[in-house]
Amino acid sequence: MRQGKKTARRTTLGLFCVGIVLMTGLLAGCSLWSQPQPQPQPQPPGPVGQKDFTAQNDALKQLFPAKSGFIWAYDGFAEYSHMMELKAVSLTDGQTVYTVAGEIGDPSGGEAKFDLSLALTYTIKEGVLLQNKTAPRMMDTFAAIELLRGPLNVQSQWEQKTRDASGKEYQLVCTITEIKEEKGLKTYTIEYKDKNSDFYEKRQIRQGSGIVFFEKKIRLNNEPIEMGYYLYEEASGYRK
């Protein structure tokens, strides 16, 4: 009898040890599976959070002449005209800047006493084309305006706030309404409509030539008037 009890105890003890070994293995396995495994992390192409505007900037650069010396001659409403020249193209801090100088036409034949000078910069940065002007008699309404914002697709839209010379603020809804291609060159039509009035501006910008058409609506004695100017092709371009 005692021998049988000893044998039974040995068997129970052996099963108990086996159970402990199995439980230890299971717990170790669970611990391994529960720990997160390191995953390879993709390397960003540049600084964290920085968007790549290279393609959009390149598309905007195609809208302008590649080098200085280009002449723009414009004619327009009520004997309006202006002529200007691309003086320099520079790259500064990742921005492409086109420096332009010229003069507003004098229909009085030299009798005008006001300032007819014109100075413009077109700046391309972060997928945006900006125009800044110092030209009191130029028909364009705003001293500073976003002319275009990528991507350059039909119905691409954005909003901006800007002010005219009197300080009046405009909230413009800007839309690329049309893209036409002729002789391998694209022309973009952009409308800039004020949210709070019937005021608008419209421009057409062509690859290689810049602005080729401008139009705006104003009110004179509470009557709407449309005025504008266009590129006089025969007098524009590089001098031969």
pLDDT of residue 176: 98
Find, among 90, 112, 91, the residue nearest to 99 by Cα.
90
pLDDT of residue 156: 97
- Answer yes or no: is pLDDT of 25 > 90: no
pLDDT of residue 49: 58
pLDDT > 90 in the chain, percent: 69
Question: What is the arithmetic mean of pLDDT over 65-82?
Answer: 96
pLDDT > 70 in the chain, percent: 79
Contacts of 20 (CB under 8 A, 6+ apart): none
Phi-psi map region of 109: left, alpha, beta (phi>0 left; psi -120 to 50 alpha): left
- Answer yes or no: is pLDDT of 29 > 70: no
Residue 126 forms beta bridges with which residues? none
pLDDT of residue 222: 86
pLDDT tens digits for range 53-71: 999 999 999 999 999 999 9
pLDDT of residue 16: 41
pLDDT of residue 133: 97
Residue 210 forms beta bridges with which residues? 206
Q: Please state, rounded to an integer, the average pLDDT across all residues of the chain.
A: 85
pLDDT of residue 12: 45
Tokens matching residue 92: 């500064």
In 6-94, beta strands by DSSP E? 71-76, 81-92
- Answer yes or no: is pLDDT of 40 > 90: no
- Answer yes or no: is pLDDT of 42 > 60: no
Q: Which residues of 159-183 are buried (b: 16+ CB within 10 A; e: fewer)?
A: ebebeeeeeeebebebbbeeeeeee
Q: Is the peptide bond before 40 cis (omega within 30 degrees of 0)?
A: no
CA 181 to chain centre: 21
**Of the candidate ranges 70-79, 111-120, 136-145, the one whose mean pLDDT is the lowest:** 111-120
Q: What is the pTM of this model?
A: 0.78
Question: What is the arithmetic mean of pLDDT over 193-207?
Answer: 97
**Of the candidate ranges 8-22, 115-129, 204-218, the one whose mean pLDDT is the lowest:** 8-22
Tokens matching residue 31: 């611990």
Question: What is the arithmetic mean of pLDDT over 85-96?
Answer: 94
Question: What is the arithmetic mean of pLDDT over 83-103?
Answer: 96
Q: Are 229 and 75 in contact (CB under 8 A)?
A: yes
- Answer yes or no: is pLDDT of 101 > 50: yes
